[in-house]
Amino acid sequence: MRWIPATLAVALLTPASLASAAVVKVSAASSTSTLPDADGVSYDPKNLIDGKQATVWVEGDTGGSGLGTSVSLDLGGEKTVTGLRIWNGNWYTFDFWQRHNRAKEIEVIFPDDSKETFTLDDEMKPQVVTLAKAMKTSELRVRIKSIHRGNTFNDTVFSEIQVLDDSPADSVPVKAFSASSVYPSDADGDYDPDNVDDGILDSMWCENVKDGDGTGEWLDFDFGASRKVSQLRLNNGNAYSFAMFMKANHATTATLSFSDGSKEEVSFKSSFMDQTVSFPAHTTTKVRVTFTGVKAGKEFNDLCISEATFLE
């Protein structure tokens, strides 16, 4: 497999390529070393594939920075892998992200020992690396080759790794998201509307209306083309855990508005688990989801939605 110069590898970090790629369900993750649990916190490699950015894997290279350490992802069968989406470093908070090492160069290695090297930016943002050539494989390894140094701990961390394949995503691809208001970024990250379509339960859109519970706030899904939609798949509220779900507001009802001016009313369960609501099919280039009913959380009076995607 050809070697990719670092400068080119950076240019290949194209989030747009994710929109049309499906995320492969990884069946198991392992690593050549892992930092032992501490204070009840696990750094197990299964944290790489749990759909949460705040749960992390930390290498267990005693006294070293983890160079040469690798994590293996078992795809549970042969897939045509086109790339990876990586949450590099410790995404528990921005402070933790700064404290621990982040990977700089990584090698993606396949069972036939072919590999590609990529250079990751030192930024707290999901990064897509695209293989020069799609690879049919049932497993792959990600090996740490060099690091961006953290300011406190000499341990290298990944928070989440998604494997992308060449099949189209099962949800309708969105070209642009917008929202009536967006809660400002804080120590835990941002609350931008595109967080509803990243497969990550603890990244979310939250509204930012003063003295309101979020009723009347909206999220726009612009498909950039005419698409048929008949279902909305949702993780309501802050879906990180039941405790977090109880703290923030979640939606109970919404009005869906389509390009031709037609509307549908939908209601949501008070649950942070996956739910899919069906409505009469519409062909549309855009859907506005206006939240018409909100149930208040116990701690934060802000409406949040962790995941929301439309299906045909």
> Residue 98 Cβ, how far from Ca ion at the closest point, in Å?
18
Considering only 29-37, 39-47, 137-145, 256-264, which stretch makes contact with Ca ion by CB under 5 A?
Answer: 39-47
Question: Rounded to an integer, what distance in angstroms lies between the CA atom of residue 118 and that of residue 102?
Answer: 13
CA angle (51 as vertex; 131, 93 as ends), nearest 5 = 100
Question: Rounded to an integer, what distance in angstroms lies between the CA atom of residue 297 and that of residue 36?
Answer: 35
Q: For residue 288, how far is the Cα from the chain centroid?
A: 22
| C-beta of 117 vs 249, nearer to Ca ion | 249
Q: Is 182 in the site for Ca ion (CB under 5 A)?
A: no
How many secondary structure helices (H) and strands (E) does the chain include?
4, 17
Q: Is 236 in the site for Ca ion (CB under 5 A)?
A: no
Question: 149: helix, coil or strand?
Answer: coil
Q: Which of 13, 52, 88, 264 binds Ca ion (CB under 5 A)?
A: 52
Output the six-digit token pair for 153: 């701990």
> Residue 283 Cβ, how far from Ca ion at the closest point, in Å?
26
Q: Is 70 in the site for Ca ion (CB under 5 A)?
A: no
| C-beta of 52 vs 143, nearer to Ca ion | 52
Question: Rounded to an integer, what distance in angstroms lies between the CA atom of residue 48 and that of residue 45?
Answer: 5
Q: Is 124 in the site for Ca ion (CB under 5 A)?
A: no
Question: 242: helix, coil or strand?
Answer: helix
The pairing of strands 100-103 and 153-165 is parallel
Q: Is 31 in the site for Ca ion (CB under 5 A)?
A: no
Q: Is 288 in the site for Ca ion (CB under 5 A)?
A: no
Q: Which of 31, 55, 70, 249 binds Ca ion (CB under 5 A)?
A: 55
Q: Which of 18, 21, 144, 200 binds Ca ion (CB under 5 A)?
A: 200
Q: Which residues bind Ca ion (CB under 5 A)?
A: 47, 50, 52, 55, 160, 195, 198, 200, 203, 306-307
